[in-house]
Structure 1
Amino acid sequence: MAHTITGRKRLLARVRRIQGQASALEKALTDGTECAALLQQIAAIRGATNGLMAEVLDGHLREHVGAEGLSAGERERELDQIAAVLRSYLK
C-alpha cells in the first residue's frame, strides 16, 4: 500500500492524537468528570477516527480501486472488499 507508506507520518500523527484523546477520556472517567464533558470527548474521538478512515479510504480508492490497468475482475474484488469494510464500519 504505497499511500500508507508515503503518508505514514501524517497517519501516525492522527493515530497518536486518537490515542491521546482516548487516554484523556479514560482519565476523565476515572476522575468522575460530568457526562457532558465525556460526551464531548467521545464525539471528538469519533470525529478523529472518521477523519483517519476517510484519509486511508481516499488513498485506497485512488491507488487500488481507481488504478489504471486493473482487469474488471480485479476491480470488482477491490470494490467488494471496500464495500465489506464500509458495511462493517457503518454498523
Structure 2
Amino acid sequence: MSHTVRDGQKLIARVRRLKGQLEGIERALEAQKPCAEILRQLASARGALSGLTAEVMEGHLHEHVLHAETEAERRQGSEELLEVIRTYMK
C-alpha cells in the first residue's frame, strides 16, 4: 500500500486546510484588506503547501527509495524524487 493511500485522510485534511487558507486570501482581496494582511496570509499558505510537499516527499523517500524491494524500484524512486525536486526548485 502506497504511503499516499495509507496517509490519505491526513493528507486530504491538510489539503482542505490549505484550500481554506486560499479561500481566506480570496475573501481578503475581495474585501480590499490591507496588503500586509494579505501578505501574511500568502506566507502562511505557502508554508502550509511547503509542509505538505515535504511530507509527501519524505513518504516517497522512505517507501520508494529507502525501503524499496528491488534495486530497480530504488533507482526509479530516486529518479522520480530528483525530477520532482528539480521542478520544485525552479
Report the Cα distance in structure 2 between the residues aligned to 1:42 and 1:81, rounded to whole angstroms: 29
Unmatched 5+ stretches in structure 1: none
Please report how far the alpha carbon of residue 68 of structure 1 lies from its aligned counterpart in structure 2 after TM superposition: 4.2
Partner of 1:78: 77
Report the Cα distance in structure 2 between the residues aligned to 1:68 and 1:19, rounded to whole angstroms: 33
Structure showing greater relative contact order (alpha-carbon pairs closer than 8 Å, 6 or more residues apart): 1
Where do 1:1-91 residues align within 5 Å?
A: 2-71=2-71, 73-91=72-90
Please, what TM-score do these two structures have when normalized by structure 2?
0.91
Report the Cα distance in structure 1 between the residues aligned to 2:49 and 2:10, rounded to whole angstroms: 14
Report the Cα distance in structure 2 between the residues aligned to 1:67 and 1:74, rounded to whole angstroms: 9
Please, what TM-score do these two structures have when normalized by structure 1?
0.90
| 76-85 vs 30-39, which moves further | 76-85
Report the Cα distance in structure 1 between the residues aligned to 2:45 and 2:16, rounded to whole angstroms: 11
Report the Cα distance in structure 1 between the residues aligned to 2:69 and 2:35, rounded to whole angstroms: 52
CA-to-aligned-CA distance 1:23-81 (integer Å, 9 cap, x gap)? 0001111111111001100000001001111111111111111124322x432222121
List 4+ stretches of structure 1 deviating above 6 A. none
| Percent identity for Structure 1 against Structure 2 | 43
